[in-house]
Structure 1
Amino acid sequence: MTPPLLSLTWTDDITGRQGFLVVDRLVRGVSSGGLRMRAGCTLDEVAGLARGMTMKEALHYDPEARYVPLGGAKGGIDCDPRDPEAYALLVRYLRAMRPCLESFWTTGEDLGLSQDLVDRAAAEAGLVSSIQAVYPLLDDEATARRRLADAFAVDVDGIGLDELVGGCGVAESALAALDRAGVPYAATRVAVQGLGTMGGATARFLTRAGLTVVAVADVKGTIANPAGLDVETLLATRDAYGTVDRAALRPGDRELPGDAWLSADADILVPAAVSYAVDGANQARINARWIVEAANMPVLPEAEELLAARGVTVLPDIVVNSATNAWWWWTLFGDIGADADEAFAHIRRSMRALTELMLARAEADGTTPRAAAHTVVADRLPVIAARFGRYR
């Protein structure tokens, strides 16, 4: 495996906590990848996420589009986002990384951090924007920035468009897999781990497509109902961290242990919270036919191998949860406007095509969807490098 282009470890001089930045690759001198904050975050974790971002960018390469994929990067801070010191730590981290953010790294919300919080901290750290490194690549910076700001201001049924686009992509990948297998939506049951931005939006789109969500898990445990949960009510009662108010539960809803989502009687599992959620041991509890990776790196490699041997298909994160990042750039570069219907239509079309390409390649090669996606990336990276040059 090729080492990353840049790997940094930062130690906060006030708390002693550490933050990380890994730039896996640059394209046109710029990389893209969110910033996460969680207790226990490591450099190896961030490096794996940065490699994943390189793949996500390459998978969305379209030579006819205005959006040209960037390189992959990722940032991480080892701190519980609920810690009273978390925000000040975030500001100091961004201040320390300011030369990178001004020159070659664009970032945004990720696990533990909302975009509003990142924007506020970036301004306090003296940055114009958390994505200002991409501005020199824009034909009309003022128009592009206004279009993206307008898109972030769009509200859909009480939820910001930016909080829905990723889940729309996850749901469309799952629906494409069902269509390919000839499985009707109405007969499909879903369990979701994590009801934050990505998990909540995924649950909403799958429910509206006719699937039944029978279990959701948050930090307090799993909520289950074999007859189906009232997803809209659960979403309406979440706090800022995706925790559901148990007072909103109906008589048929049961409260179960936090890991009960793994063994839920469901056809699709959607891990949408932390990395490394499914390992070699707990994978044996899974009864689902598909695992749709809304989170980054939720299924460990040894677990995926065992699941594949049991006939469980893992739809990988590098495809499934790539719509949020792509939507930012489609909007900024002008492939789509600041409109929800246009955004959802573009996401559905792009994610369905990408998922179908991956699954067809997996079937033709007799391999897993992840291996097939990696093959597509391996085909596209040299094409991108030949067009824009290499930065290694």
Structure 2
Amino acid sequence: MSLTWTDHVTGRRGFLVVDRLVRGVASGGLRMRPGCTLEEVTGLARGMTVKEALHYDPAARYVPLGGAKGGIDCDPRDPGAYGLLVRYLRAVRPYVEACWTTGEDLGLSQDVVDRAAGEAGLASSVQAVYPLLDDADAARRRLADAFAVEVDGIGLDELAGGCGVAESVLTALDRAGVAPAGARVAVQGLGTMGGATARFLRRAGLRVVAVADIKGTVANPDGLDVEALLAARDAHGTVDRAALRPGDRELAGDAWLSADAEVLVPAAVSYAIDPVNQARIRARWIAEAANMPVLPDAEDLLAARGVTVLPDVVVNSATNAWWWWTLFGDIDADADEAFAHIRRALRALVGRTLGRAETDGTSPRVAAHAIAADRLPAIAERFGWYG
């Protein structure tokens, strides 16, 4: 199911795509960015179906849902963006109430989504899943408690996804025999996902040599002070340049692509790496912290050059999974427990994906989709498939 909504106030458009329902419910975030299209949201919704299936564990309380996604064509910095968000949520309210569980995505934080959902008359952005819970009240308290947890001044909800991206990178390095202390990384985007990824990778021993935001790229071959940059960013991930050290250099916005690094982490917009600019990449691995940052043709060209793309459906899946592990009761509202669970799950999933790719002679993305395809019939047989 797909729909296009036009705002009667601004004329801007919003989109909702439900790719598949499992037990009558689908999961997928809501993004806001200028230029967002129905085609983009459709691809994201299909990706969510795969992400959910990849985390299917018959022994777990969390049962994967179907895939969906929402999008609004607007700059989140626009003064009218919040009002537009509220009107969009009012328009799609019946779907949020009945079948679409949503949350933060590119351009939107969870607190903004929650506030707008309340103004739109919704009890919660994930209320459609409540009928599937054994004890909805206890589950809601557990999730609220988890969102209140902070680690070094950053919310656990903002760190979960980055922990998964970092563990994906570390797993790939381990399989290749590359020590984290000898690896360098460049990150595009220092928002929720990119910022958390940079923090976890730096703490794991990697050197973060470049980060990019809307103002440009900041680079230092000796390594950037990640914690200082995180402390100096605004709500949209833009770093105050007053926090830079003497050895830090300000470069062009796309300079992160050609950074002298083993790992690139595109953690901002979709379609960031295309068939032309991929030629500038010198990294050995690209970890897709963003959704769909590498275009298919570019990925083929990168593979021919020996560059491995760790796909978004695996790499950035921890944010979504953490929500459901917490809500369904597989983990409690505890940072150490959450990080340990994420690390175990992502290390196993990345290892399985890379192993399948080697065995089948395919890319990690094709392997991940094959693993999901193996699991979807089992989910459908157990819970039914609608869509």
Q: Calculate the TM-score normalised by the size of structure 1.
A: 0.98
- Please report the RMSD computed on the Cα atoms of aligned residues, expressed in angstroms: 0.4
> Moved runs in structure 1, 4+ residues, more than 2 A?
none
Instruction: Give the equivalent residue in structure 2 for 1:193.
Output: 188
How far did residue 389 of structure 1 move? 1.1
Pairing partner for 2:19 from 18, 24, 47: 24
Pairing partner for 2:376 from 353, 362, 381: 381
Pairing partner for 1:205 from 200, 221, 241: 200
CA distance in structure 2 between the partners assigned to 1:70 and 1:110 by the alignment: 18
Instruction: Give the equivalent residue in structure 2 for 1:74.
Output: 69
Query: What is the SS of the residue equivalent to 2:247?
Result: coil
CA distance in structure 2 between the partners assigned to 1:71 and 1:19 by the alignment: 21
Does the alignment pair 1:180 with 2:180? no
Gaps in structure 1 of 5+ consecutive residues: 1-5
Query: What is the SS of the residue equivalent to 1:164?
Result: helix
Query: What is the SS of the residue equivalent to 2:235?
Result: coil
Instruction: Give the equivalent residue in structure 2 for 1:338.
Output: 333
CA distance in structure 1 between the partners assigned to 2:253 and 2:9 by the alignment: 34
How far did residue 220 of structure 1 move? 0.2
How far did residue 45 of structure 1 move? 0.2
Instruction: Give the equivalent residue in structure 2 for 1:351.
Output: 346
Does the alignment pair 1:7 with 2:19? no
Pairing partner for 1:85 from 67, 80, 86: 80
Does the alignment pair 1:171 with 2:166? yes
Pairing partner for 2:302 from 276, 286, 307: 307
CA distance in structure 2 between the partners assigned to 1:106 and 1:361 by the alignment: 31
Corresponding residue pairs, total: 387
CA distance in structure 1 between the partners assigned to 2:120 and 2:17 by the alignment: 20
Q: Aligned letter for 1:181?
A: A
How far did residue 196 of structure 1 move? 0.3
Instruction: Give the equivalent residue in structure 1 for 2:359.
Output: 364
Does the alignment pair 1:279 with 2:274? yes
CA distance in structure 2 between the partners assigned to 1:286 and 1:15 by the alignment: 39
Q: Deviations over 1:333-357 (max 9, x none)?
A: 0000000000000000000000000
Q: Deviations over 1:181-206 (max 9, x none)?
A: 00011110000000000000000000
CA distance in structure 1 between the partners assigned to 2:125 and 2:258 by the alignment: 40
CA distance in structure 2 between the partners assigned to 1:390 and 1:265 by the alignment: 46
CA distance in structure 2 between the partners assigned to 1:261 and 1:330 by the alignment: 34
CA distance in structure 2 between the partners assigned to 1:174 and 1:131 by the alignment: 30
Does the alignment pair 1:248 with 2:243? yes
Pairing partner for 2:146 from 142, 151, 159: 151
CA distance in structure 1 between the partners assigned to 2:112 and 2:160 by the alignment: 19
The equivalences for 1:31-70 within 5 A come to: 31-70=26-65
Q: Calculate the TM-score normalised by the size of structure 2.
A: 1.00
Instruction: Give the equivalent residue in structure 1 for 2:113.
Output: 118
Q: Deviations over 1:77-133 (max 9, x none)?
A: 000001111000000000000000000000000000000000000000000000000
Percent identity of equivalent pairs: 82
CA distance in structure 1 between the partners assigned to 2:66 and 2:341 by the alignment: 22
The equivalences for 1:206-221 within 5 A come to: 206-221=201-216
Instruction: Give the equivalent residue in structure 2 for 1:138.
Output: 133
Instruction: Give the equivalent residue in structure 2 for 1:3.
Output: none
Query: What is the SS of the residue equivalent to 1:80?
Result: coil
Gaps in structure 2 of 5+ consecutive residues: none
Query: What is the SS of the residue equivalent to 2:96?
Result: helix
How far did residue 390 of structure 1 move? 1.9
Q: Deviations over 1:257-312 (max 9, x none)?
A: 00000000000000000000000000000000000000000000000000000000
Q: Aligned letter for 1:324?
A: T
Query: What is the SS of the residue equivalent to 1:326?
Result: helix
CA distance in structure 2 between the partners assigned to 1:207 and 1:390 by the alignment: 42
